[in-house]
Structure 1
Amino acid sequence: MITIFLQAAGGEGSMMPTMIMMGLMFVGFYFLMIRPQMKKSKQEKNFQSELKVGSRIVTTSGMHGRISQIQEDGVVIETLSGKLKFEKAAISREFTQQRFPDNSTDTK
């Protein structure tokens, strides 16, 4: 079986179709894999830079809390069990006041 492929005559065409296919594959990989990853990375950096004291957040490990201090090397998060220090990269998302309003403003 392998000898059939080895004995086959080589293509006498130009390399242009092969080069065009390689170029199209690179463009496809860029738009399907590289560009979305760069966009996601940029959004994460913007989110981490816009963190502020008092924001309700969730860490990547699932811990809920509020930011009590922002330092250069991380943030201090206040939870029900106390204060913990995390890296900024460990913050997964922020809860907004519209989604989780404070109960202190409710009227009886």
Structure 2
Amino acid sequence: MTTNPHVDEIREMNLAYLLLAQRLLNGDRVEAMFRLKVDEEMADLLASLNAQQLARLANTNQLLCHFGGESAEQLRQVADNPRDQGLAHFHSSLLMASRSMLSQGGEHVG
């Protein structure tokens, strides 16, 4: 049986994402939750997964991570941002954070 190379890449991406999430959560938990756009319960779960659980979770044909922007327009604003005088990073963060604020306000996005 042949394996689709895209599925293998998705599995690798999933494992890398899960390992990064754990490292972030074990560092600055509040910042990690904001960057990952996860709540306390998800943060607890991600941080507690052992190697076998991480491998099992990563072994899927669906991406576990997703785009942070709520819409294509938000991503376009980040990608096409002409501000390169030190404010680009700040502007991008504000645009991407707006999704997090909507989610925390009771409206589930994504």
**TM-score, with normalisation over the residues of structure 1?**
0.30
Greater helix proportion: 2
| Structure number with higher relative contact order (C-alpha < 8 Å, ≥ 6 residues apart) | 2
Larger radius of gyration between Structure 1 and Structure 2: 1
Greater strand proportion: 1
**TM-score, with normalisation over the residues of structure 2?**
0.29
